[in-house]
Amino acid sequence: MDNKNDMTPSMHYGNLDFENYWGEKLFSVEIIHYLSDIINVAEIYSMYKKIMYVDDKTKVTDAMRFKYSLGDLGYLDYWKIKIITDNNEVYSSNGSVRCSIRPEDNGKVIMGVNGESKRMYISMVSGSCSISLNKVS
């Protein structure tokens, strides 16, 4: 029976590709994805991935698997990142960026860093988001 009034979120798994356009090799990349419900704004289903040694101008395919939700009253997707460059400089997003996945994305996300603009970006079929990266040390 198809119930269009069902507000239960539909959970899925997606895959993230990571791109390095920082201008140098990255020693490490730490990615956090979490879901937050609309009502309580609480972190739910947090996923963490650390990637080591990412050459400049390269893409790491299927770098991270994550859980996401589709549904009328589902969850929102949030993303954070921390990178350490080959020169031992640390950059981090100040907080997280909300960039939710839509059905047309089919769970496919591209995340990357741009050293010229000092930003982390997320690109999907349905749109894109970005957040500035601040030097930590």
Q: Is 22 exposed, middle or buried (0-12, 13-18, 19+ CB in 10 A)?
A: buried
Buried b (16+ CB within 10 A) or exposed e, 103-124: eebebebbbbbbbeeebbbbbb
The CATH code of the domain that includes 95 is 2.60.40.3820
| 123, amino acid identity | S
pLDDT of residue 70: 81
CA distance linking residue 104 with residue 59, whole number of Å: 22
pLDDT of residue 5: 44
Q: Could you tell me if 125 and 105 are in contact, meaning their C-beta atoms sit under 8 angstroms apart?
A: yes
Q: Could you tell me if 122 and 131 are in contact, meaning their C-beta atoms sit under 8 angstroms apart?
A: no
CA distance linking residue 47 with residue 21, whole number of Å: 23
pLDDT (tens digit per residue) in 25-78: 999 999 999 988 766 666 667 899 999 999 999 999 999 999 988 865 567 899
User: Residue 34 falls within a domain, yes or no?
Assistant: yes
Residues 104-108, mean pLDDT to the nearest whole number: 96
Which residues on adjacent β-strands are paired with residue 109? 16
Residues 110-133, mean pLDDT to the nearest whole number: 97
Domain that holds residue 95: 11-135
User: Residue 70 falls within a domain, yes or no?
Assistant: yes
User: Residue 26 falls within a domain, yes or no?
Assistant: yes
User: Residue 1 falls within a domain, yes or no?
Assistant: no
| 86, amino acid identity | D
Looking at the structure of the chain, the number of domains it has is: 1
pLDDT (tens digit per residue) in 79-100: 999 999 999 999 999 889 999 9
